[in-house]
């Protein structure tokens, strides 16, 4: 037989080249997806209920202390001319505020996510690289140097660090008892231990030699926390919290936790006074400042939205499955029997 005429051009007859790979062809028709919808719907409703209940159990106490309004307890402090202004926030707890209590400060209309602002820092300097102490990155401009002296930490982001101070007192029998604040571990573990490093050298002031503090800062970086020498420089907890820029213009940041002594179980019912050292100006951008006491659950802070959203989507799935049931009954295919 004359096969030499040639079949050398004959293509390979494989499943792949002939596009005959075994395939699963799901058909999206009502009859098949109804169970899926019901399942998803029910699961979502379950999750939603759980989230909603969890969220409801979280206690939150929020107070605005911007002080722009005349009746506000911090009225007057918002004026930039007043230095070292202090104002007292008095509040009463009717029942135990369960611990551990997290104490936040909040800013609104503050755009920490502004592009140039976010860029205005020097990651290498902050990681303790000495080279960048003498030559800060130009991304820090114009907070790069004062005169010829480089700034450490340079940039607008460190420069604008939040500097209000808070002290909480409980009124016990007419006397003010200070509620101890725990400032440790409020920042990310990785920030404190890996990402941010102080420059080598002891004492810290020596390491920062030849640099100056950011212009808005009253003190150099190595004197941020006078009470705790290990909480200074670039690994100051408040600084680290500030450096983690908020994603949205209305945000809160963790200031302290109340975990010590008799307050470890929470704030008991009673009268409290929060003494606020009002330093940070917010009127320039129509901002608001607030303080927040909150306890947390497994899913973080109070958030009604997620639970409700789960419930809504879950119910929608269920409704949809009912609709599809009707549709299926009406438009059933003869071949699906």
The phi and psi torsions of 257 (rounded to 5 degrees) equal -115, 150
| Token pair 């639970």: residue | 307
Q: Using the minimum distance from each CB to other proteins, give the nearer residue, 190 or 226.
A: 190
Six-digit token pair at 297?
A: 């659950």
Of the chain, the end-to-end C-alpha distance in Å amounts to 52
| Min separation Cβ 174 and other proteins, Å | 36
The phi and psi torsions of 139 (rounded to 5 degrees) equal -65, -20
| Min separation Cβ 77 and other proteins, Å | 17
Burial grade of 147 (CB within 10 A; 0-12, 13-18, 19 or more): exposed
Q: Using the minimum distance from each CB to other proteins, give the nearer residue, 74 or 161.
A: 161
Q: Using the minimum distance from each CB to other proteins, give the nearer residue, 48 or 266.
A: 48
| Min separation Cβ 78 and other proteins, Å | 12
**Cβ distance 142 to 211 under 8 Å?**
no
Secondary structure class of 94 (helix, strand, coil): coil
Q: Using the minimum distance from each CB to other proteins, give the nearer residue, 42 or 171.
A: 42
Q: Using the minimum distance from each CB to other proteins, give the nearer residue, 73 or 251.
A: 251
In angstroms, the Cα distances linking 280 to 69, 105, 193, 247, 285 are 17, 12, 28, 20, 12
Q: What is the DSSP letter of 261?
A: G
| Min separation Cβ 205 and other proteins, Å | 24
| Min separation Cβ 304 and other proteins, Å | 10
- Cα–chain center distance at 119: 18
d(CA 242, CA 249) in angstroms, rounded, equals 14
Q: Using the minimum distance from each CB to other proteins, give the nearer residue, 268 or 301.
A: 301
């Amino acid at each position: 037989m004359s096969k030499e005429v040639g079949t050398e051009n004959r293509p390979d007859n494989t499943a792949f080249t002939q596009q005959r790979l075994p395939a699963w062809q799901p058909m999206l028709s009502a009859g098949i997806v109804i169970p899926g919808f019901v399942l998803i719907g029910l699961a979502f409703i379950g999750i939603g209920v759980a989230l909603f209940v969890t969220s409801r159990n979280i206690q939150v106490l929020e107070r605005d202390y911007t002080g722009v309004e005349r009746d506000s307890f911090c009225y007057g402090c918002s004026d930039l001319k007043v230095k070292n202004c202090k104002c007292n926030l008095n509040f009463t707890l009717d029942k135990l505020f369960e611990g551990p209590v997290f104490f936040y400060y909040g800013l609104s209309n503050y755009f920490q996510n502004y592009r140039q602002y976010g860029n205005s820092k020097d990651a290498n300097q902050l990681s303790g690289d000495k080279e960048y102490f003498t030559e800060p990155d130009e991304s820090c401009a114009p907070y790069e140097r004062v005169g010829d002296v480089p700034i450490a930490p340079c940039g607008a982001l460190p420069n604008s660090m939040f500097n209000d101070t808070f002290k909480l007192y409980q009124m016990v029998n007419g006397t003010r008892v200070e509620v101890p604040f725990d400032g440790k571990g409020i920042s990310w573990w990785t920030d404190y231990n890996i990402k941010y490093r102080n420059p080598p050298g002891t004492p810290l002031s020596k390491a920062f030699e030849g640099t100056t503090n950011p212009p808005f800062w009253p003190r150099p970086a190595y004197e941020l926390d006078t009470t705790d020498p290990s909480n200074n420089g670039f690994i100051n907890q408040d600084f680290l919290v500030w450096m983690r820029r908020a994603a949205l213009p209305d945000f809160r940041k963790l200031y302290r936790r109340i975990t010590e002594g008799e307050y470890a179980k929470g704030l008991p019912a009673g009268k409290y006074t929060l003494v606020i050292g009002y330093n940070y100006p917010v009127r320039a951008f129509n901002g608001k400042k607030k303080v927040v006491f909150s306890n947390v659950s497994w899913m973080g802070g109070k958030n009604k939205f997620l639970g409700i959203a789960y419930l809504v989507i879950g119910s929608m799935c269920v409704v949809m499955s009912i609709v599809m049931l009707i549709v299926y009954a009406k438009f059933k295919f003869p071949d699906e029997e």
